[in-house]
């Protein structure tokens, strides 16, 4: 039985575990039909030309994990941003770990989607937002919607800001030989509210894990949201991340994606601007080696005038790693005075590494500023020579230059401890041995 059949036939069993009379279940039932019709996307589809899910579909993934062993905090501490106090929503093999988590209802809700989808007090919010920005015609998003049950639920009411950043962590213990996870996050940040989120999927063994995640983020007027995705997973871990963001007027949302490894990673990042003077920031650092694969598919849809978007993705590829960047910008006819910038720069260190970079601009307004640029190249010889003349050996000089190249993207990271952490991750990925205190 291939993965699609297995998933579709598992839906009945899934229904036994949830309240089928809740209105959300009508949404799930619709979604499983969509997935059944469409199936997994294939490479004949333009959007999946360079990323194949074929191998994953042949794997016999467990869809309903058994209750996992508890993890000791000391064993997984390094995956937390432990240098700073945070709220934590932690899942072990898809199941909430209250032991490792720190949630709150103090003026804001930082808790679980399973609670939000079942308790009457959350219903008014869920009815308004759940599955409203996520694509209803996308097969993988529909698959996640069909099985949506657990994940993070964050609700920040008007004029509020949580005391500290929120970490969403998913651990895979390797209890199953192959495990499929489908977390679903719903995040609402109302007018003038603020939120910082750090998300990480971490496999703890070499066993296979496939995560098909959907996150919906709603940023109200003047809201400020920073979302950081740290992807530094094991060689058996694959991630399909589908993130949908709806932005009202004058809101600022930034998403930083640090893609440092995993077997296959697909980031579908979609921004919908639904007001004027909106600012959307999409940044990425990708550093891959061995046979790792990362595919960044971004969409920024400018639907109102006077807004901005900034995309800056940098990639470094070694060994037989492969990268994809596909950046789509749509500017509607009404969206005059749009400023849309997109930049994708790549360095190939090995002859066998490949990158496919494709800007896609669909502009229907006439008074806009749009720029895009992509480069794929080697290191600047002159810069290398400069460092060598200072006594730094060629190998170290090359690593230092790549470090500088990737680091440029970090300027907009607003959690200093995270910035430091990413700095160190970049340095260690590139084997930069600098006698410095980052």
Partner 1 sequence: MLKIKDLHAGVEGNEILNGINLEVNPGEVHAIMGPNGSGKSTLASVIAGKEEFEVTQGIVLLNGEDLEDVSPEERAHKGVFMSFQYPVEIPGVTVTNFMKTAINESRKARGEKEMPANVMLKRIRQKSELLDIDRKFLSRSLNEGFSGGEKKRNEIFQMAMLEPKLAILDETDSGLDIDALRIVANGVNKLRGKDNAIIIITHYQRLLEYIVPDFVHVLNEGKIVKSGDKDLALQLDEKGYDWLKNEPVA
Counting residues that bind partner 1 (by CB under 8 A) gives 29
Nearer to partner 1, 107 or 373 (CB): 373
Q: Does 46 bind partner 1 (CB under 8 A)?
A: no
CA–CA gap between residue 411 and residue 283 (Å, rounded) = 10
Residues ≥6 apart with Cβ < 8 Å to 213: 144, 151, 181, 182, 183, 184, 185, 201, 239, 240, 241, 242
Q: Does 434 bind partner 1 (CB under 8 A)?
A: yes
Q: Does 381 bind partner 1 (CB under 8 A)?
A: yes
DSSP state of 158: T
Stretch that binds partner 1, among 59-67, 153-161, 252-260, 377-385 (CB under 8 A): 377-385
Radius of gyration of the chain measured on its C-alpha atoms? 21
Minimum Å gap between C-beta 425 and partner 1 is 13
Q: Which of 397, 413, 415, 430 lies at the binding interface for partner 1 (CB under 8 A)?
A: 397
CA–CA gap between residue 93 and residue 175 (Å, rounded) = 8
Stretch that binds partner 1, among 32-40, 119-127, 326-334, 381-389 (CB under 8 A): 381-389
CA–CA gap between residue 267 and residue 315 (Å, rounded) = 14
Q: Does 361 bind partner 1 (CB under 8 A)?
A: no
Q: Does 396 bind partner 1 (CB under 8 A)?
A: yes
Nearer to partner 1, 147 or 403 (CB): 403
Q: Does 334 bind partner 1 (CB under 8 A)?
A: no
Nearest to 183 by CA among 199, 207, 166: 199
Q: Which of 45, 75, 83, 394 lies at the binding interface for partner 1 (CB under 8 A)?
A: 394
CA–CA gap between residue 323 and residue 317 (Å, rounded) = 8
Minimum Å gap between C-beta 97 and partner 1 is 36
Q: Does 386 bind partner 1 (CB under 8 A)?
A: yes
HSE, side-chain direction, 13 A CA sphere, residue 273: 35
The two tokens of residue 415 are: 């959690």
Contact 403, 432 (CB under 8 A): yes
Minimum Å gap between C-beta 438 and partner 1 is 9
Residues ≥6 apart with Cβ < 8 Å to 374: 325, 343, 344, 345, 346, 357, 359
Contact 108, 157 (CB under 8 A): yes
CA–CA gap between residue 255 and residue 227 (Å, rounded) = 5
Q: Does 435 bind partner 1 (CB under 8 A)?
A: yes
Q: Which of 392, 414, 420, 425 lies at the binding interface for partner 1 (CB under 8 A)?
A: 392
Stretch that binds partner 1, among 22-30, 218-226, 334-342, 400-408 (CB under 8 A): 400-408
CA–CA gap between residue 343 and residue 328 (Å, rounded) = 12
Residues ≥6 apart with Cβ < 8 Å to 14: 64, 146, 147, 149
Q: Does 377 bind partner 1 (CB under 8 A)?
A: no
Nearer to partner 1, 154 or 402 (CB): 402
Q: Which of 363, 383, 417, 425 lies at the binding interface for partner 1 (CB under 8 A)?
A: 383
Stretch that binds partner 1, among 39-47, 196-204, 369-377, 403-411 (CB under 8 A): 403-411
CA–CA gap between residue 301 and residue 328 (Å, rounded) = 8
The two tokens of residue 418 are: 């995270």
Footprint on residues 3-32 left by partner 1 (CB under 8 A): none
Minimum Å gap between C-beta 202 and partner 1 is 26
At residue 429, the 3 state secondary structure works out as helix
Stretch that binds partner 1, among 78-86, 99-107, 349-357, 402-410 (CB under 8 A): 402-410
Q: CB burial class (10 A; 0-12, 13-18, 19+) of residue 358?
A: middle
Q: Does 393 bind partner 1 (CB under 8 A)?
A: yes
At residue 357, the 3 state secondary structure works out as strand
Q: Which of 300, 401, 413, 415 lies at the binding interface for partner 1 (CB under 8 A)?
A: 401
Q: Which of 407, 417, 420, 425 lies at the binding interface for partner 1 (CB under 8 A)?
A: 407
Nearer to partner 1, 204 or 387 (CB): 387
Minimum Å gap between C-beta 222 and partner 1 is 30
CA–CA gap between residue 76 and residue 54 (Å, rounded) = 32
Q: Does 417 bind partner 1 (CB under 8 A)?
A: no
Residues that bind partner 1 (CB under 8 A): 380-383, 385-394, 396-397, 400-401, 403-404, 406-408, 410, 423, 434-437
């Amino acid at each position: 039985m291939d993965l699609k059949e297995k998933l579709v036939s598992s839906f009945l069993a899934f229904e036994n575990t949830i309240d089928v009379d809740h209105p959300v279940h009508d949404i799930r039932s619709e979604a499983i039909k969509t997935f059944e019709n469409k199936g997994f996307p294939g490479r004949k589809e333009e959007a999946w030309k360079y990323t194949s899910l074929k191998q994953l579909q042949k794997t016999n993934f467990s869809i309903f994990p058994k209750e996992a062993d508890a993890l000791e905090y000391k064993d997984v501490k390094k995956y937390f941003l432990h240098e700073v106090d945070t709220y934590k929503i932690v899942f072990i093999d898809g199941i909430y770990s209250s032991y490792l988590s720190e949630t709150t209802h103090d003026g804001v809700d930082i808790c679980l989607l399973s609670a939000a989808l079942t308790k009457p007090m959350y219903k008014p919010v869920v009815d308004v937002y759940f599955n409203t920005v996520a694509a209803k015609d996308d097969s993988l998003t529909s698959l996640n919607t069909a099985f949506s049950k657990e994940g993070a639920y964050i609700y920040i009411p008007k004029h509020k800001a949580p005391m500290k950043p929120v970490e969403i962590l998913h651990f895979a213990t390797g209890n199953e030989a192959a495990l499929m996870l489908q977390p679903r996050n719903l995040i609402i940040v109302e007018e003038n509210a603020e939120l910082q989120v750090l998300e990480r999927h971490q496999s703890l063994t070499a066993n296979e894990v496939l995560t098909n995640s959907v996150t919906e983020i709603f940023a109200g007027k003047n809201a400020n949201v920073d979302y950081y995705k740290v992807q530094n997973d094991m060689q058996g871990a694959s991630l399909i991340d589908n993130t949908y963001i709806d932005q009202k007027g004058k809101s600022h949302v930034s998403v930083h994606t640090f893609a440092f490894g995993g077997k296959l990673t697909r980031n579908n990042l979609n921004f919908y601007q639904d007001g004027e003077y909106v600012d959307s920031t999409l940044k990425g650092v990708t550093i891959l080696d061995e046979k790792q694969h990362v595919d960044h598919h971004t969409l920024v849809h400018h639907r109102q005038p006077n807004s901005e978007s900034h995309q800056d993705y940098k990639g470094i590829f070694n060994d037989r790693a492969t990268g994809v960047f596909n950046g789509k910008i749509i500017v509607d006819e009404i969206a005059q005075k749009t400023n849309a910038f997109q930049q994708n720069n790549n360095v190939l260190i090995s002859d066998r590494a490949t990158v496919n970079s494709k800007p896609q601009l669909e502009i229907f307004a006439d008074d806009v500023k749009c720029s895009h640029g992509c480069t794929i190249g080697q290191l600047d010889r002159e810069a290398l020579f400069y460092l060598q003349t200072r006594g730094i050996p060629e190998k170290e000089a090359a690593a230092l230059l790549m470090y500088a190249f990737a680091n440029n993207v970090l300027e907009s990271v607003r959690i200093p401890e995270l910035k430091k952490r990413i700095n160190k991750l970049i340095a260690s990925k590139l084997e930069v041995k600098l006698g410095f205190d980052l």
